[in-house]
Structure 1
Amino acid sequence: MNNINLIPYLTFENTKEALAYYQDVFGITDIQRESPNEKQAEDMSLNADVNLDDLTLQGSFKILGKQVFCADSFLGKPVVSSLISLMIEVDLHDSEASSALQKLYDRVVESEEVKVIVTFEKKSSGNKYGQIVDKYGITWIFNAVK
């Protein structure tokens, strides 16, 4: 069962805008975005005057080499939920991974586009841990474990 992956799939009101935000603030890479074609728009009963290039049928990006999928919510405005968090965990002994996680945390915090919930620092357990919430209400957990 090693061939099973669990991949985050985020839904936004405007994925095109969200991807620009995550690229600027988080430095995401490998961004892909597919707009619906006219037939797909018709099948989804979208208004004929909608600009299809502004819509995202499916998108994806990578953060620290890990893939995240995303799309627009075609069923109305998505509901923000504090029940979902994304954790990025690295081995504290892997200096390259630990450094990449620290740089990502520093980047997002310096942007002032996120709210820091828990400062990313060493805890009594010896692990480093921190949490931020981005402008879309998604909680990102930074975790470097021994």
Structure 2
Amino acid sequence: MVTRLNPYIAFAGNAREAMEFYQSVFGGELDISPWGDMPDMPGNSPDMHDKLMHSQLTVNDSVTLMAADMPEAKGPEGSPITISLSGEDESQLRGWWEKISEGGEIFAPFEKAPWGDTFGQCTDKFGVGWMVNVAGTSG
């Protein structure tokens, strides 16, 4: 049995737009459940019915991202959480970096880092922090 740790992002009304954007970046299957489908859920109100109570983007066995519109959420701005993507597939990670950083703010450009890996850090256009790291070749 596999145990996974999945990021879950609280948005203040734009979870659908964000998750559709993330699907355009990573691909995968996006499942959404609007608040309107669950009228008895705590925190639900008529103005939330078209917002997302839950969403899950399953990219592959190791990449899953979840999010929802939370009635009291202020959005991810100022969040102490940053999502990290890392691995050895430079083509895939570079492609994700280019898409996820577009329209956001880049803090560290995606380039060779002093420790030998290729690394970049940004905040996407929804205010979510991302770090992307491609392992350097050994030897």
* Count of paired positions: 134
- Deviation per CA, 1:43-87: give whole Å up to 9, x if none: 435444x362x2211101145761111111123433622411000
Are 1:119 and 2:109 matched, yes or no?
yes
Of the candidates 69, 75, 78, which is equivalent to residue 78 of structure 1? 75
Do the aligned partners of residues 139 and 45 (structure 1) sit closer, same or farther apart at CA in structure 2, a change above 3 Å counting? Answer: closer
2:17 is matched with which residue? 17
Q: For the Cα contact (< 8 Å) 2:104–2:125, is it kept in 1?
A: yes
1:144 is matched with which residue? 134
| Matched ranges for 1:1-146 at <5 A | 3-14=2-13, 15-24=15-24, 26-37=25-36, 40-44=38-42, 46-48=44-46, 50=47, 52=49, 54-63=50-59, 66-78=63-75, 80-91=77-88, 97-109=89-101, 111=102, 113-146=103-136
Percent of aligned pairs with the same amino acid? 20
Q: For the Cα contact (< 8 Å) 2:10–2:73, is it kept in 1?
A: no
Q: Report the residue type matching 2:39 in the other structure.
A: A
Computed over aligned residues only, the root mean square deviation of the Cα atoms, in angstroms, reads 2.5
Q: Which structure would you say has the larger Rg? A: 1
CA shift for structure 1 position 103: 1.4
CA shift for structure 1 position 137: 1.7
| Structure 1 Cα separation of the partners of residues 68 and 30 of structure 2 | 12
- Deviation per CA, 1:73-130: give whole Å up to 9, x if none: 1234336224110000103xxxxx2210011112334x3x111110111122211111
CA shift for structure 1 position 140: 0.6
| Structure 2 Cα separation of the partners of residues 104 and 34 of structure 1 | 26
What is the TM-score with the length of structure 1 in the denominator? 0.76
